[in-house]
Every structure is written in structure tokens, then in C-alpha cells.
Structure 1
């Protein structure tokens, strides 16, 4: 694996179906982004999609594979970020549209043989509707998890800060949801969201490494690229190794105006942290 790590190292990219590039991922079009990341030493990408379905799997795999990289996961952030579609919108049509997009992403993930993740598309509560909105979200997540499982994928639920969503802010809350499902599912842990909710990231990773499919990394203070010498990085990597983590790492952070430099800084920081473990 790259950077001397025992797990694949991926970078966030936007699918060609996205209206604009996601700000926490590579700023270039997909084909250009994967070539750049391959030259830097990354193993693959986590692709954020907006409305791509199973019929796009071959094209996506070919584009990423042409650079010698792999798709490790399908993200669904653009469904809400670009089109404002959520599972808790008061409008039934909007909720149906949001779920349809997510189901399409699950089918795409199944064709690729990778997990599909859910974050902010679960939405936010409105006064007086919280109870009903929670029910809508829980039912939709159950459908999404079942669709993913049927298609050979797996749902990964990401605890996110209350700035993004009204639902499932902590790993414990997200874990309760996946434990209630009748199909296998897992977690995405994001150091930014853990920090924002006052959750000790190293402790969370230590406790939940076995059920975590992906760890998303960013600089703790700026949510920018990782920094060489960050003392928390070796601690996180040790926690992953100790906990039996078998997933992948994704760099999901701001680009500081230059994605090549941002990706290179993060790759170098992880390589330095990995060397401290050996």
C-alpha cells in the first residue's frame, strides 16, 4: 500500500455527474484528478456522485483504472450539497427523489463491489416535525441498507456534526442505527466531525475500528491537508492497527487552492506517520 501503510489510501474526487466539484475533494475533472493522484502515490479514490447509477459503473471503473487506481467507495454528499435533496424534507416528492438517488448510488457501488456511504443527505429537522422526520429517515436508511446488501454493496453510515444534519452525530448514535438493521452495515468515521462533536477521535477509532469501513482524515484545526509531524496521526494509525481495521483511509479536506499540493502534503504526512510506527 502507499505511504508504507497496511491499508489503501484514497482521495476524495467528484464524479463526472456532479454540477461542480466537491470542495473537500480534488478540484480537477475525474480523469485528470486520478492521473494526478496516481503520480503522487495514492491507491485509489472515493467518488462522490450526484445522480450516477449502475449503468455508469463500467465507465467509472475504466476512467479510474486507466490511471492504475481503484474505486474504494461511493459517496453521496452531492445529492444534498448540489440538489438540496434529503430524506427528511417535508415534501414527499423531494424525499422520494432523494431516496431514488441514493438507491442508484447503492446499485453503482454494488456493480463496483464497494461500499456506499451516507452523510448529510439525511437532512435536518424543522420545528414540530422532528419526530416524523426521524421516522422518515430511519425507514429510508433501512431501504438503502437492504438495497446495498442485495446489490453486493454495504451501507456505511457516517456520524456527522449538527452543523450538517439533525441525525446521528456521534459514533454511538450511528452504531445504534446499523445494529438495528437486518443486513450488514458499517461506519465511516471522519476526524473533523468527531472533533466538532467533542468525540475523542483516537478513542473512537480504537473502540470501533472493527466496524469502521473508512476513516476520513483532515487537519484538526483547519480541515485542510494533513501536516507533517502531527502527533495525532501515529496515534490514529496505531488505533487502527490495534483494533483490526480492514477498511481504507480517505483524505477528505479543503484543497487550499491547489489540489496537487494539498494531496501531496497529506500523502507525505501519512508516510511520515507510518514510518514512526515501524
Structure 2
């Protein structure tokens, strides 16, 4: 994944543990629940946790979406996502859904929306039945035609009556003209994951990013219980990119602590 740590799983986990990270969100392509034990052994050996299962490669690498005009492709996409849900259940973590929703074709918008809504309802029910929880990520229109803002995602969740939450991504929020701090403030309790990247470049975080203390403060005030994911370009060196983002977050936390009066 171009936005993930570029190394074999065990190596990535070891390096991230060295930097001080607590856990990883794993992006899966064809992984199933059978792989859960091996994944847990790998992370636990480095003192890490698996915090979530992402499904980005299903669409990004294999071009499988829930709104493809081909019934076979839609079926294949759903099967992959269902396997990912079962893996998430075996790991005891949430499942995230983004780009695999797909994009509309002229004249097929209504039927494609119906395909997506039916599949997402089934996926949310599958995730809940195995002890996971579906988190829908609002993404920009460059990635998907469906549910591009938090309000749109919440509206469909309510209409479908599914047990789901949100993933908020600063890159996609900003691409849609949504203020990321306001979005986090408004939706903290429904947010299972906040994905972070530098504004504009979608690169590693930088020390002095004015958004970071405000985002951390909004999460704290809202009682956030999820996880932060660094989802950004790697600039040719994943270890260095992860170190830069870690330093920026640590600096933001220190800045916020200085601003917060002692009890």
C-alpha cells in the first residue's frame, strides 16, 4: 500500500514498536480469519496490538467494488470484504470500509446506490455477528461517489439501521472542504479511527502543524476511545516517515499539555 509502512509485516511491526507506536491498522487484500493467530503472534512478540482491519487494497489493487456493473465483480468484492470482516472478528477489532464502495456510471446511479446500500447492510450485520464493527470512511469524490462527508455517511447509517461508526481522514475531509477539527468535534463518539496526514501533500506529519493540538484536544474533550492511524505517503523511507509523524504527534501532545491548565 503506497500509504502504509513499506515492509514485510513482521519487520514493519518491529520497526514501529522501536519508534514507540502502540499498534497497527492492517490493510488486507485476501487475508481471512485463518490468518488471525499468526498475525496476533507477530504483533504480540513486539509488544504491539492490531487495532483495526482496513480494506483499501480490495479496490485499490484489485479494482473490486460493490457498485461494479458486473454481478460477478460485485460478488467477488463482497466475498473479499466478508472475509475481512471475519478476520476482524477473529482479531476482536473493527473493520473499515472506504474506496470499495465504488463510483457511479452515467444512468446507473440509482441502481448502483441500491447495490451499495444492500451490500453495506449485509456487511455491517456480518461484522456484528462475528464480534467486529463496521466503520465507514467518508472519502473524497476522487475515490468514490458514495458518502463523501461525515453527514452523508451518518445519514445512510441511520437510514439503513446498521450498527456502524465512522473513520475520519483529514486528507479526505479537507478535499471535500470539511474542517477536520470541526468534524472530529461533532462526531467524536461515533468515530472509531482518525487517519492523519500532512495537509496538501498527504505526506508525513510535520512539527508545528497547527491542526494537531486542536485535533487532539477535540478527541480528548469528546471522550475518543478509538485509534489514530498515520495514513500518508512514505517518501521512499517508511521508517523515517513514521518517525517524522511520531515526532510531530509527540510535539502536538506536548503543546496541548502546555495549554491545558493543571487540575
The gaps in structure 1 that reach 5 residues or longer are: 1-21
Task: Find the counterpart in structure 2 of residue 215 from structure 1.
Answer: 194
Q: Which has the higher contact order (CA 8 A, sep 6+)?
A: 1
TM-score, structure 2 length as denominator?
0.96
Moved segments of 4+, more than 4 Å? none
TM-superposed CA distance for 1:229, in Å, is: 0.9
The counterpart of 2:183, out of the listed 192, 196, 204, is 204
Q: How many residues align?
A: 257
The counterpart of 2:70, out of the listed 91, 97, 108, is 91
Distance in 1 (CA, whole Å) between partners of 2:19 and 2:73 is: 40
1:178 pairs with 2:157: yes
Query: Which structure 2 residues correspond to residues 1-278 of structure 1 after superposition, within 5 A?
Result: 22-278=1-257
User: 1:223-250 deviations in whole A, cap 9, x for unaligned?
Assistant: 0000001111001111111111111101
User: 1:175-206 deviations in whole A, cap 9, x for unaligned?
Assistant: 11222344421000000000000001000000
Q: Secondary structure of 2:2's match?
A: coil
Partners of 2:117 and 2:160 within 8 A in 1: no
Distance in 1 (CA, whole Å) between partners of 2:96 and 2:199 is: 22
Partners of 2:204 and 2:244 within 8 A in 1: yes
TM-score, structure 1 length as denominator?
0.91
Q: Secondary structure of 1:180's match?
A: helix
Partners of 1:149 and 1:183 within 8 A in 2: no
The gaps in structure 2 that reach 5 residues or longer are: 258-263
Task: Find the counterpart in structure 2 of residue 7 from structure 1.
Answer: none
Distance in 2 (CA, whole Å) between partners of 1:70 and 1:102 is: 22
User: 1:1-34 deviations in whole A, cap 9, x for unaligned?
Assistant: xxxxxxxxxxxxxxxxxxxxx0000011111100
User: 1:30-78 deviations in whole A, cap 9, x for unaligned?
Assistant: 1110000000000000000001111111111111222111000000000
Distance in 1 (CA, whole Å) between partners of 2:143 and 2:157 is: 20
Deviates more, 1:113-122 or 1:175-184: 175-184
Partners of 2:197 and 2:230 within 8 A in 1: yes
